[in-house]
């Protein structure tokens, strides 16, 4: 029966990794896949995570299933991290949540939930958005349209175009928003712009769907939750997908959270049964290990303090790399102004060069990143930044 299926092209990002590995150039540079890397190009296990692993190893005495909802301490800790300890929606018992296999799993569970509510609605995503948003949501059978977000010509947010489009969205439609560190552009909404988005949601009746994959990598753990908390505190319903891959470094453990803020406790009870039913139909029971580690870290004062410091260290390093790259481009005589890279936030930036220039970077200089010109800032180091800047200047 499999003979009817054609071979599909490689995923553009994962396929890039294959090409990078096959390149014999010892000075090759990988700015593709979105994982944090240290100065040596290694993705380390955080010290707080390593300590939590030892604690879990010592205390875990069974490998039986955990609850369908997930690790309770993980869910409680993450909800407080996302929404704030004094969040009124938590105090009012309006939040349904399940532990999910990564942020991707959370997005898919929530897409399936949205479809159960209304299979005819439209989900609006930013142009551009993370490449996997569209298959994760679209493969659930939902219609997708885009709203303007980024002007590549001047490397700025097209907020006027965004507002114009979202003001015409139908009541009940869903608008996907990046909570912080917009992927792929690194261009984030300001607090004032978040307030405008809130006003649009209140006026038109669309439901925000906030993807929080990089909390702590923008301006800080609390600051990066500003937009999400503003919406949650002022709207009856908000959908939230969260990931622990980046800020806990738990990429391979696949630790995520699917959250639904509801209008009241009765709705919360119903939605909790629905999202657990969806999860049951996809993968049955959530994995325990990664969630158990986050539970230990968030609920141990010493480990939490250490983890917060580690997140801050990753954030400040990436900020320093942004400045370093811009300075090197000036030093190498770049005829374009790349100062916008300093203003962008998180792990990614759009360099705003053409696909042809990206290909030239790859073919002539062994610098690998996707054709959109999205680069992983964490892949830059003091040892490769000169070569990167020289290569970029040469293709402009």
Sequence-distant (≥ 6) Cβ neighbours of residue 71 within 8 angstroms: 99, 286, 288, 291, 292, 294, 295
Three-point CA angle 155, 160, 161, nearest 5°: 85
* Given the residues 130, 173, 194, 307, the one annotated as active site: 130
DSSP codes, 69-101: T--HHHHHHHHHHHH-TT-HHHHTT-EEEEEEE
Radius of gyration of the chain from Cα atoms? 21
C-alpha dihedral (146, 152, 157, 159), degrees to nearest 10: -60
Best CA proximity match to 212, nearest among 173, 172, 258: 258
Q: Are strands 348-350 and 374-376 parallel, antiparallel or unpaired?
A: antiparallel
- Element holding 239 (H helix, E strand): strand 238-243
* Given the residues 30, 173, 188, 211, the one annotated as active site: 211
- Residues 39-68 as b/e (b if ≥16 CB within 10 A, e otherwise) read eeeeeeebebbebbeeeeeeeeeeeeebee
The answer to whether residue 211 is catalytic is: yes
Tell me: cis bond preceding 320? Omega within 30 of 0 counts.
Answer: no
Query: How many other CB atoms sit within 10 Å of the CB of residue 248?
Result: 24
The answer to whether residue 386 is catalytic is: no
CA–CA separation, 322 and 319 (whole Å): 5
The pair of structure tokens assigned to 350 is 């759009």
CA–CA separation, 332 and 393 (whole Å): 7
The pair of structure tokens assigned to 307 is 């983890």
* Given the residues 37, 51, 246, 328, the one annotated as active site: 246
The answer to whether residue 246 is catalytic is: yes
CA–CA separation, 140 and 291 (whole Å): 25
Q: List active site positions.
A: 130, 211, 246
């Amino acid at each position: 029966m499999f003979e009817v299926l054609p071979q599909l092209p490689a995923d553009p990002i994962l396929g890039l990794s294959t090409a990078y590995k096959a390149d014999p150039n010892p000075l090759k540079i990988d700015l593709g896949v979105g994982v944090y890397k240290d100065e040596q190009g290694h993705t380390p296990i955080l010290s707080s995570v390593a300590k939590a692993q030892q604690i879990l190893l010592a205390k875990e005495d069974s490998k039986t299933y955990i609850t369908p909802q997930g690790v309770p301490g993980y869910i409680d800790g993450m909800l407080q991290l996302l929404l704030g300890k004094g969040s009124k929606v938590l105090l009012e018992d309006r939040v349904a949540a399940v532990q999910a296999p990564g942020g991707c799993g959370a997005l898919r569970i929530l897409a399936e939930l949205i479809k159960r509510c209304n299979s005819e609605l439209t989900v609006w995503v930013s142009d551009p958005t993370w490449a996997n948003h569209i298959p994760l949501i679209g493969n659930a059978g939902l219609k997708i349209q885009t709203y303007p977000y980024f002007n590549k010509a001047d490397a700025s947010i097209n907020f006027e175009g965004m507002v114009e489009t979202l003001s015409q969205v139908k009541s009940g439609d869903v608008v996907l928003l990046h909570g912080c560190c917009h992927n792929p552009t690194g261009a984030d909404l300001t607090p004032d712009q978040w307030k405008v988005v809130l006003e649009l949601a209140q006026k038109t009746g669309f439901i925000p769907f906030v993807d929080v994959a990089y909390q702590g990598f923008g301006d800080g753990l609390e600051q990066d939750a500003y937009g999400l908390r503003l919406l949650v505190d002022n709207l009856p319903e908000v959908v939230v997908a969260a990931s622990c891959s980046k800020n806990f470094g738990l990429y391979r453990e696949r630790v995520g959270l699917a959250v639904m803020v509801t209008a009241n406790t009765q709705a919360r009870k119903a939605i909790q049964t629905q999202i657990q039913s969806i999860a049951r139909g996809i993968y049955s029971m959530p994995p325990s290990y990664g969630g158990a580690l986050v539970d230990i870290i968030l609920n141990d004062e010493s480990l939490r303090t250490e983890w917060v410091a580690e997140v801050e260290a990753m954030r400040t390093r990436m900020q320093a790399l942004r400045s370093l790259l811009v300075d090197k481009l000036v030093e190498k005589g770049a005829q374009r102004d790349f100062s916008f890279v300093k203003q962008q936030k998180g792990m990614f930036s759009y360099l705003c060069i053409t696909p042809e220039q990206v290909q030239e970077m790859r073919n002539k200089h062994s610098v690998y990143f996707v054709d959109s010109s999205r680069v992983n800032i964490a892949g830059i180091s003091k040892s490769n930044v000169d070569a990167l800047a020289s290569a970029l200047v040469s293709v402009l």
